[in-house]
Amino acid sequence: MHTTSHTAVQRTDVMASRIPGGSSAASAHVQRIADELKLLQATLNPARRIVHAGDVLYRYGERFEQLHVLNSGCFKLLSVSESGDEQIVGLKFRGDWLGFSGIARGSHACDAIAMDTSEVWTLRYDALLQACAEEPRLMALVHEAMSSEIMRDREAKTALCTLPADARVATFLHDWAGSLAMRGLRTDQISLRLTRAEIGNYLGLTLETVSRVLSRLVRARLIAFNEKSRRDICIPDFQALGSFTSRPAAVGLH
């Protein structure tokens, strides 16, 4: 795992002009993440480093001592069962925290693997606790991050429990694009950094089903493939894709 330059200015702020669902809410969120990072930097001066796709930030079972915050890039969280099969249990983007699940047992509960070149800020947990005691805003920030994670996990569970395959995949794409939008990135053109098998794993489907659903969404004009790579997906109408979530019907089949 590289620890090269810590300056890594990420060129994110292309920005809010392109954001679906109202740029004001999105840019507010962008600002909020920036403020949070600034607060972190001021109170804890976290170690920064760049990691690359495939790099492992921590592994299941490793002693928990640090938390991480993503300044850019994206990560997947991988839970490996004793029988050896893997389950993707989370996806993380700029502003998200990594490692919360390790606090309870004192050892990490999953693997954290970069899906793209990313800048990670790392802070010692004991230092964080101490800083939280002195800076109430910092404590509130940490609690909000954990609370958000709990909320999103529940939404994911609900999707798994209630949505058929088509809506599940559509929701997945919509959420991914929404995650980027809230961070000020473009959403008309998203680059999934997962194979069909990984998407299926994350959604409780087989890779074939994912592939078929994507083809169906293309036929329904809700998405389009980039001609270069079939992992790059165009979303002409962000809202339409979202509304498909609730109405799994009304797709021209066949």
**What are the DSSP calls for 61-89, one per residue?**
TSBP-EEEEEEES-EEEEEE-TTS-EEEE
CB 164 within 8 A of CB 250: no
Q: Is 2 in the site for a copy of itself (CB under 8 A)?
A: no
Binds a copy of itself by CB under 8 A, chosen from 7, 11, 104, 250: 104
Q: Provide the minimum distance between the beta carbon of 9 and DNA in the complex, in angstroms, as a whole number.
A: 26
> What part of residues 169-208 is at the interface with DNA (CB under 7 A)?
195-197, 200, 204-208
Nearest to 140 by CA among 34, 47, 36, 27: 36
Q: Is 160 in the site for a copy of itself (CB under 8 A)?
A: yes
Nearer to a copy of itself, 51 or 205 (CB): 205
Binds DNA by CB under 7 A, chosen from 113, 214, 223, 241: 214
Stretch that binds a copy of itself, among 114-122, 187-195, 196-204, 220-228 (CB under 8 A): 196-204
Nearer to DNA, 152 or 212 (CB): 212
CB atoms within 10 A of CB 80: 14
Stretch that binds DNA, among 19-27, 75-83, 128-136, 160-168 (CB under 7 A): 160-168
Q: Is 79 in the site for a copy of itself (CB under 8 A)?
A: yes
Q: What is the dihedral of CA 183, 77, 191, 179, to 10 degrees?
A: -20
Cα separation, 163 vs 9, whole angstroms: 39
Q: Is 18 in the site for DNA (CB under 7 A)?
A: no
**Residue 3 binds which of DNA, a copy of itself, none (CB < 5-8 A, kind-dependent):** none
Token digits of residue 75? 């990560």
Residues forming a β-bridge with 86: 80
Cα separation, 187 vs 221, whole angstroms: 16
**Residue 134 binds which of a copy of itself, DNA, none (CB < 5-8 A, kind-dependent):** a copy of itself
Nearest to 102 by CA among 94, 93, 90, 114: 90
In angstroms, the Cα distances linking 226 to 16, 198, 208, 230 are 23, 19, 20, 6
Binds DNA by CB under 7 A, chosen from 231, 232, 240, 251: 231
Binding site for a copy of itself (CB under 8 A): 79, 81, 83, 85, 87, 89-90, 100-105, 109-110, 129-130, 132-134, 136, 139-140, 142-151, 153-154, 156-158, 160-162, 201-204, 246
Binding site for DNA (CB under 7 A): 164-166, 195-197, 200, 204-212, 214-215, 225, 230-231
